[in-house]
Amino acid sequence: MDTIAPSQSTAPIRPPAPTPAEAHARLRRSLKPRHLTMIALGGAIGTGLFVASGNTIATAGPGGALLAYVVIGFMVFLLMQSLGEMATYLPVSGAFEEYSTRFVSPSFGFAIGWNYWYNWAITVAAELVAA
């Protein structure tokens, strides 16, 4: 992997040139604002809110549940800010796996890919049970 040397340069940072495989797999910006709004609402009011809220309120009480949602919400905000920065710098398909492979190591990217798949496999099952 290339080493990065410290620099005092103020020149703008250019993203690396795409590989031949990336040159053919371009992202299309075809989502309209209403699509993004519905995705955001579905993520915020999804079945997880209803499935997990009862247990959280029973364990921590209403104040504790509110505090927990605020803390975790802030952590998710920071994660999404970081992901937005990486997606702006390097717009590729594959998000978490691709960024993990490029910025950490190929084996870490492989593990993140499987974890991401496992996460969605469990999420689909949980939403089917909750429906």
Are residue 86 and residue 106 in the same domain, yes or no? Answer: no
Q: Is 93 within 8 Å of 73 (Cβ atoms)? A: no
- Quick one: CA dihedral 59, 63, 65, 71, positive or negative? negative
| Distance, first Cα to last Cα, the chain | 47
Alpha-carbon dihedral angle through residues 23, 19, 5, 112, given to the nearest 10 degrees: 100
pLDDT above 70 for 47:
no
CA distances from 131 to 42, 47, 89, 125 (A): 14, 8, 38, 10
Q: Would 27 be classed as within a structural domain? A: no
**Residue-wise pLDDT tens digits, 101-125:** 988 999 999 999 999 999 989 988 8
Please tell me whether the overall predicted TM-score, pTM, comes out greater than 0.75 for this model. no
The confidence score (pLDDT) of residue 87 equals 87
> Domain containing 112: what range?
93-131
Q: Tell me: the pLDDT tens digits for 60-85?
A: 999 998 999 899 999 999 998 998 88
Instruction: Locate 94 and state its tokens.
Output: 């594959």
Same domain, 108 and 82: no
Q: Is residue 116 included in any domain, yes or no?
A: yes
pLDDT of res. 111: 95
Q: Look up residue 7 and give its two tokens.
A: 């620099």
- Give pLDDT, residue 5: 67
What is residue 91's predicted lDDT score, i.e. its pLDDT?
A: 84
- The packing angle between helices 95-103 and 106-130, to 10°, is 160
In a domain, 29, yes or no: no
